[in-house]
Amino acid sequence: MHFSTVFSLRVSLSCRAGGGGNDVQWCFSQVKGAIDDDVAEADIISTVEFNHSGELLATGDKGGRVVIFQQETENKSQPQCRSEYNVYSTFQSHEPEFDYLKSLEIEEKINKIRWLPQKNAAQFLLSTNDKTIKLWKISERDKRPEGYNLKEEDGRYRDAATITTLRVPVFRPMDLMVEASPRRVFANAHTYHINSISVNSDNETYLSADDLRINLWHLEITDRSFNIVDIKPANMEELTEVITAAEFHPHQCNTFVYSSSKGTIRLCDMRASALCDKHSKLFEEPEDPSNRSFFSEIISSISDVKFSHNGRYMMTRDYLSVKIWDLNMENRPVETYQVHEYLRSKLCSLYENDCIFDKFECCWNGNDSVVMTGSYNNFFRMLDRTQRRDVTLEASRESCKPRQVLKPRRVCAGGKRKKDEISVDSLDFNKKILHTAWHPQENIIAVATTNNLYIFQEKVN
Amino acid sequence: MASIFVVSAERFIPLFPRLACQGVLAHFLPTSVRWGRGGESVGGACVIRALWMNYPLPPSLAGMSPMLQAPVTLVGWPRRQGVLVSVLWLSTLDFLFGFQSRNNYHFKKMLNMFSKGTKRKFSDGDEEISDESLVGARVASSYSLQRQSLLDMSLIKLQLCHMLVEPNLCRSVLIANTVRQIQEEMTHDGSWHMVTEAFCGPGQSPSERLVATEVLCRSREQDAEPKLFSVISYEGCREEEVVADETLCSVSVSDTVSNVCLAGRIGQCWEKSELSGVERDEEALEDSRLGSGEDEEIDTEDGASTESPKTTGQVFGTFEIKNSSPAPDSALEELFSDVDTSYYDLDTMLTGMQSAPKMGPYDILDSLAPSHSSPSIVSTPKCRSDLNELDHIMEIIVGS
């Protein structure tokens, strides 16, 4: 769907600005999750995703649970439409498993959640852990039948002899109950860890990508999948590159891209051949020789790739930067934004403590004018493409008052630290924002810290 | 307060609360990096001694292998602190000891230490490194040191794998590529060549000696798709043994900080038994939970070192605590008195490593001929019987 900017009288009556950027002031809306600093490992949020209308927000955690929040219906006549997200449904999506052949545990951590476009009253989402993808149906029940002839209200069967009259059962309203039921389980198709799933625009198929292979599934068929990309070398000794992310084009159902640990993105056309090992396009930026170091390859590894909503661009996130690519130009990105360039001199330390392998995600806003990605110290970055400006904001408990405007943060790379700046050495590398999501239409963002979900909204005057 | 963490070869579980090392449990594979501070070979032994003196040994450690006698290598950089070390990893044949202070595990960049001219005092005041030596080292070879430390760190990362969950393949591939890159650069520099030349007999060509570095992280895939992959593969070196038999030991024990490195080749003794009859690297290691991790301990001398290397014997001799005298040892000796030290006889293992690559599993120990450069090392045949024992242990481990 193409979201164009809604050019309405902004400000007091409408939240639907659609635009973004630095004329937008972000303020705190809600925070979900436990307050205490002692983080239970199972509560660590591992994925965040809005559905296609933005009404539902799903999070997955390391304990295999999915929590879905629903936006309250806005009251447009209210001057301040602060729509809040409240818990809609919680269910255990994946359980820990044990692979007996390899004597290895399979983590139940939810790696990705992807919503299916809504076709009827129920909602569907795909959730995946390292090995298994599940299709969940989330449906509401707000009526129940009452007045059975053969059963009491509590379910006990009546003695047939006592029945003297007949009545027709009727539906009576009941408290809303949201049920989540697994409709399909797509298992045993991946030898390596699944890192991405992506629903096709045809709404019938989806792809799942692990480190070395990409499989194409039909949503109705669970016992078979087609392998469309396989980069496993015949001799594993020669393995030097893995797949890090994959996504279908938002409009063209035959096109998908996958990114690699060497900083390349390959666009493949499924019409060309059944096995898409040969790419149609290869997006790669030549390395800057002045910046070369032993860590060059590691920081060039792409952790996330996302198509823009209009399907003309794609965004990739590597360790230090965000790059916007025009699908028609393969040799370099059209835009490059530094996320936290001050970390370039710290790469050795970050390699020591493994932070250099953190996989940050990125996301577009509804009209593709602003992109957002996370950083350390619970910072996240909003990069405005149209105005060429960027801002660093922080998701912290300190700025949790309702409608409190977020203050831009600055990191001091070296030299004299100004007031209000934070120096690189005092950044907390355990507080990382890896997962963020942007409402498809409004300026509402969901930012996941380790175990809390922050929801920020545009400030409405 | 430091906590001691030990992985036992037999049970392969930590006997003590695990080191909070990025949440991984240490693999038991011997791995050798370089000496850190207190880095002279003698200092190395003293480091250990001092450590033991400062922290009371838990009773269960008393029966442990005489790590002091084994080619213990310092894996990791002690850090300057009031406490002796922040993280100190000591590796022997089949134990990996970690000493951790309260702070998080952290490798301290060697370069920082050098540039600050840090004097590192051990708390018992035994060891001090003079500033002058540090300065000299820094000037000479800061880049190669940094490169070396990066290499060492990478190799350790590759080996320290999660016990229960499959390791992250992307991370492993990236680290492996980094290692490969460093090794390639070292080869081009000639620093690789220099080292290997010093210790190999005539007639051995470089290509024969340096083979793939297998890094095994939980390669228990039964479907013959091992997760392991070779870190380095040199042209024409696809021999089955995966075994680089080099003990690439830098023996430039100079007055300056020397980075003496003992290749962790020890494990090969029994690893080879696993490998016998196996065609290719990848298949070989699938059932070895320990990982016949061939980690190629490449050490280079300080790039610009011009001192002639002392003989192997002299260097390694200093590691043998039994040769050293003074009183502090007696306490330690008591602790380890009942341990069978034959297997860990340093000489045996090291000479074993210097033999030609293509030997069969048991041959390597048979040919315990003193190398040309180490006349003082005496070979003993005792190792061989221990091989059977190790086989047994291997079975237990694999079977467990």
Tell me what pLDDT residue A62 has: 95
Average pLDDT over residues B291-313: 37
For chain A, percent of residues with pLDDT exceeding 90: 72
Judge whether A422 and A412 are in contact, CB under 8 Å.
yes
Q: Do A297 and B177 make contact, defined as CB atoms within 8 angstroms?
A: yes
- Least confident range of A18-32, A217-231, B93-107, B233-247: B233-247
Question: Model pTM?
Answer: 0.62
Average pLDDT over residues B314-322: 36
Judge whether B101 and B85 are in contact, CB under 8 Å.
yes
Strands (E), A159-220: 170-186, 196-199, 205-209, 213-218
Whether residue A11 is predicted with pLDDT greater than 90 in this model: the reply is no
Q: Measured between alpha carbons, how far is A205 from A199 in angstroms, rounded to an integer?
A: 6
B89 touches chain A (CB under 8 A): no
A244 touches chain B (CB under 8 A): yes
Tell me what pLDDT residue A115 has: 98
Tell me what pLDDT residue B398 has: 72
Tell me what pLDDT residue A232 has: 95
B150 touches chain A (CB under 8 A): yes
- pLDDT category of residue B194 using cuts at 50, 70 and 90: low
Give the count of alpha carbons within 13 A of B206, CB side only: 13
Q: Do A237 and B233 make contact, defined as CB atoms within 8 angstroms?
A: yes
Name the residue among A130, A239, A294 with its Cβ closest to that of B178. Answer: A294
**For residues A122 and B319, which has the higher predicted lDDT (pLDDT)?**
A122
Q: Measured between alpha carbons, how far is B344 from B325 in angstroms, rounded to an integer?
A: 20
- Least confident range of B181-190, B194-203, B353-362: B353-362
Query: Which residues, including other chains, have CB under 8 Å from residue B57's CB and lie 6 or more apart?
Result: B4, B335
**For residues A83 and A259, which has the higher predicted lDDT (pLDDT)?**
A259
- pLDDT category of residue A80 using cuts at 50, 70 and 90: low
Whether residue A452 is predicted with pLDDT greater than 80 in this model: the reply is yes
With CA atoms as reference, the chain B residue closest to A299 would be B174
Strands A421-423 and A410-412: parallel
**Rounded to the nearest 5 degrees, what angle is found at the Cα of B36, between the Cα atoms of B32 and B41?**
80
Chain A nearest C-alpha distance from B296 (Å): 15
Whether residue A354 is predicted with pLDDT greater than 80 in this model: the reply is yes
For residue B54, the one-letter residue type is N
Whether residue A342 is predicted with pLDDT greater than 50 in this model: the reply is yes
For residue A13, the one-letter residue type is L
**For residues A137 and B242, which has the higher predicted lDDT (pLDDT)?**
A137
For residue B280, the one-letter residue type is R
Mutate to test the interface with B, among A352, A358, A425, A432 (most CBs of B within 10 A): A352
Tell me what pLDDT residue A198 has: 97
Q: Measured between alpha carbons, how far is A208 from A132 in angstroms, rounded to an integer?
A: 10
- pLDDT category of residue A359 using cuts at 50, 70 and 90: very high
Chain B nearest C-alpha distance from A456 (Å): 32
Name the residue among B178, B221, B281 with its Cβ closest to that of A102. Answer: B221
Tell me what pLDDT residue A9 has: 36
Q: Measured between alpha carbons, how far is A117 from A55 in angstroms, rounded to an integer?
A: 12
Tell me what pLDDT residue B263 has: 36
Q: Do A298 and B170 make contact, defined as CB atoms within 8 angstroms?
A: no
Q: Do B177 and A191 make contact, defined as CB atoms within 8 angstroms?
A: no
Distances (CA, A) of A218 to A125, A225, A252: 14, 7, 17
- Least confident range of A70-84, A314-328, A337-351: A70-84
Q: Do A107 and B165 make contact, defined as CB atoms within 8 angstroms?
A: yes
Tell me what pLDDT residue A180 has: 96
Tell me what pLDDT residue A239 has: 95
Structure tokens at A414: 């070296």
DSSP state of A385: T
Provide the mean pLDDT of chain A: 90
For chain B, percent of residues with pLDDT exceeding 90: 4
Tokens 């120096």 map to which residue? A423
Q: Measured between alpha carbons, how far is B169 from A213 in angstroms, rounded to an integer?
A: 13
Whether residue A223 is predicted with pLDDT greater than 60 in this model: the reply is yes
Q: Measured between alpha carbons, how far is B260 from B28 in angstroms, rounded to an integer?
A: 21
Whether residue B174 is predicted with pLDDT greater than 50 in this model: the reply is yes
Provide the mean pLDDT of chain B: 45
Chain B nearest C-alpha distance from A245 (Å): 11
List chain B residues with CB under 8 Å of A211: 169-170
Residue A268, beta-bridge partner list: A256
Average pLDDT over residues A281-301: 92
Q: Do B177 and A240 make contact, defined as CB atoms within 8 angstroms?
A: yes
List chain B residues with CB under 8 Å of A105: 164-165
DSSP code per residue over B177-202: HHHHHHHHHHHHHTHHHHHHHHHS-T
Structure tokens at B69: 């006698």
B103 touches chain A (CB under 8 A): no
Tell me what pLDDT residue B244 has: 34
- Least confident range of A97-111, A373-387, B84-98, B192-206: B84-98
Q: Measured between alpha carbons, how far is A359 from A374 in angstroms, rounded to an integer?
A: 10
Q: Measured between alpha carbons, how far is A249 from A230 in angstroms, rounded to an integer?
A: 19
Query: Which residues, including other chains, have CB under 8 Å from residue B281's CB and lie 6 or more apart?
Result: A237, B212, B214, B230, B238, B240, B242
B139 touches chain A (CB under 8 A): no
- pLDDT category of residue B378 using cuts at 50, 70 and 90: very low
A328 touches chain B (CB under 8 A): no
Q: Measured between alpha carbons, how far is B265 from B244 in angstroms, rounded to an integer?
A: 8
Average pLDDT over residues B29-54: 30
Tell me what pLDDT residue B230 has: 37
Tell me what pLDDT residue B161 has: 61
> Which range in A156-160, B2-6, B192-196 is most confidently predicted, on average pLDDT?
A156-160
* pLDDT per residue as tens digits for the range A370-429: 999 999 999 999 999 999 899 999 999 888 888 889 999 999 887 777 888 898 988 999
DSSP code per residue over A88-157: EEEEE----EEETTTTEEE-----EEEEPPP-SSSEEEEEE-SS-EEEEEEEEEEEEEE--SSB-TTSPB
**For residues B382 and B375, which has the higher predicted lDDT (pLDDT)?**
B382
Chain A nearest C-alpha distance from B43 (Å): 26
Chain B nearest C-alpha distance from A402 (Å): 36
Query: Which residues, including other chains, have CB under 8 Å from residue A144's CB and lie 6 or more apart?
Result: A171, A172, A174
Q: Do A237 and B173 make contact, defined as CB atoms within 8 angstroms?
A: no
- Least confident range of A172-176, A428-432, B157-161, B186-190: B157-161
Tell me what pLDDT residue B113 has: 32
DSSP state of B381: T
Tell me what pLDDT residue A392 has: 95
Average pLDDT over residues A447-460: 92
Average pLDDT over residues A239-259: 97
DSSP state of B317: H
Judge whether A372 and A448 are in contact, CB under 8 Å.
no
Tell me what pLDDT residue A276 has: 87
Average pLDDT over residues A143-164: 86
List chain A residues with CB under 8 Å of B21: none
Q: Is A165 exposed, middle or buried (0-12, 13-18, 19+ CB in 10 A)?
A: exposed
For chain A, percent of residues with pLDDT exceeding 70: 93
A429 touches chain B (CB under 8 A): no
Chain B nearest C-alpha distance from A115 (Å): 26
Size of interface A-B (CB pairs under 8 A): 92
Phi, psi of B323 (to 5 degrees): -85, -20
Judge whether A288 and A263 are in contact, CB under 8 Å.
no
Phi, psi of A340 (to 5 degrees): -150, 75
Whether residue B195 is predicted with pLDDT greater than 70 in this model: the reply is no
Tell me what pLDDT residue A459 has: 85
- pLDDT category of residue B52 using cuts at 50, 70 and 90: very low
Mutate to test the interface with B, among A294, A347, A430 (most CBs of B within 10 A): A294
**For residues B314 and A120, which has the higher predicted lDDT (pLDDT)?**
A120
Whether residue B377 is predicted with pLDDT greater than 50 in this model: the reply is no
DSSP code per residue over A346-380: GHHHHHHTTGGG----EEE-TTSSEEEEE-BTTEE
A192 touches chain B (CB under 8 A): yes
Q: Is B117 exposed, middle or buried (0-12, 13-18, 19+ CB in 10 A)?
A: middle
Judge whether A324 and A386 are in contact, CB under 8 Å.
no
**For residues B310 and A234, which has the higher predicted lDDT (pLDDT)?**
A234
Length reported for chain B: 400
A287 touches chain B (CB under 8 A): no
A353 touches chain B (CB under 8 A): yes
Q: Measured between alpha carbons, how far is B174 from B104 in angstroms, rounded to an integer?
A: 24
Average pLDDT over residues A100-112: 91
- pLDDT category of residue B337 using cuts at 50, 70 and 90: low
ipTM: 0.89
B369 touches chain A (CB under 8 A): no
Chain B nearest C-alpha distance from A99 (Å): 10
Whether residue B146 is predicted with pLDDT greater than 50 in this model: the reply is yes
